[in-house]
Structure 1
Amino acid sequence: MTAFYHVCFVVPDIEQAMQDFQRAAGVEWSDPVSDRLGEWDYRIVFTTGGPPFIELIEGPSGSPWDASEGARFDHIGFWTSDVRQGSQRLEEEGMPVDFSGCPYGRPFAYHQMDSIGARIELVDAGRQASFLNGWHPGGKPMPAIDETSRS
């Protein structure tokens, strides 16, 4: 079962990146949202139209979404039935945790995947309904990787 649902770029200027993506690929965007995680204020936006989504994050220097050295491809996002078990499995496969939102009450974790020069994000599938309601109203749920049944 596939659980892929988005790719993410961290950017120093979210509006410019949105405009450039729209001009280059014709994508449409939701309205950017401001949020805070721990000590970091950040802005986030997703394309409309359904999976796969493109996500842009504008975060401050020193944050998990630091783009002070320029925009970059950051991660590929997957739904998972169990972030903890999924993270453990990825660590066992040699992909260490780069950042976890779990201590901040956010069920996601980034794992470094050196072979692609980016991160893999695992997001708890329990957040899928609120994600779809907020970013893709009327969208249908996508399947999650069932980490509890992997050996």
Structure 2
Amino acid sequence: MTAFYHLCFAVPDIERAMADFERSAGVKWNAPLSDRLGEWDFRIVFSADGPAFIELIEGPAGSPWDASQGARFDHIGFWSSDVRQGSRRLEQQGLPLDFSGCPYGRPFAYHRMDSIGARIELVDVSRQPGFLSRWHPDGTAMPAIEEPDC
């Protein structure tokens, strides 16, 4: 399938969540980054140590990361060698597409995994060098496992 690299929580207050993780579990953080996808402004941060990483994302109501009803476990992130093929495979296996960043020029997709009450995120492995330079500059590359031919 793909290579696991992070767990994500959608949160209404990124600084509070960072402080709670640091105080309770000693998690160290990078500085949060502000970004925009489509009509949504959001903030994102990854833990400094990893892999595996912890991601926190703070998005507005109605966004794919809406935490207006409270913080929640949002998704498990995987590097994928082919997001479209991986998405098709997940849909065929009963995990419906919930949101795709592809129409916005971002090669990622979320699929609902109702059995755990969260989503699976596939992220194109071509984004890995940028991810590592921003969030883990002293780290090494993490492999993506090729999608099987079915």
Q: TM-score, normalised by structure 2?
A: 0.98
What is the match of residue 19 of structure 1? 19
Q: Distance in 2 between matches of 1:64 and 1:49?
A: 26
Which 5+ residue runs of structure 1 have no aligned equivalent?
none
Q: Distance in 1 between matches of 2:146 and 2:17?
A: 34
Asked if structure 1 preserves the Cα contact closer than 8 Å seen for 2:2 and 2:80, the reply is no
How is 1:1-151 mapped onto 2 (pairs within 5 angstroms)? 3-147=3-147, 149-151=148-150
SS in 1 for 2:60: coil
Asked if structure 1 preserves the Cα contact closer than 8 Å seen for 2:2 and 2:81, the reply is no
Aligned positions, number:
150
Letter in 1 for 2:38: G
Q: Distance in 2 between matches of 1:92 and 1:110?
A: 14
Q: Distance in 2 between matches of 1:145 and 1:82?
A: 10
Q: Percent identity?
A: 75
Q: Distance in 2 between matches of 1:49 and 1:74?
A: 20
Q: Distance in 2 between matches of 1:62 and 1:146?
A: 34
Q: Distance in 2 between matches of 1:75 and 1:150?
A: 26
| Runs (4+) off by over 4 Å | none
Which 5+ residue runs of structure 2 have no aligned equivalent?
none
RMSD: 1.0
Q: Deviations over 1:47-89 (max 9, x none)?
A: 0022000000000000000000000000000000000000000
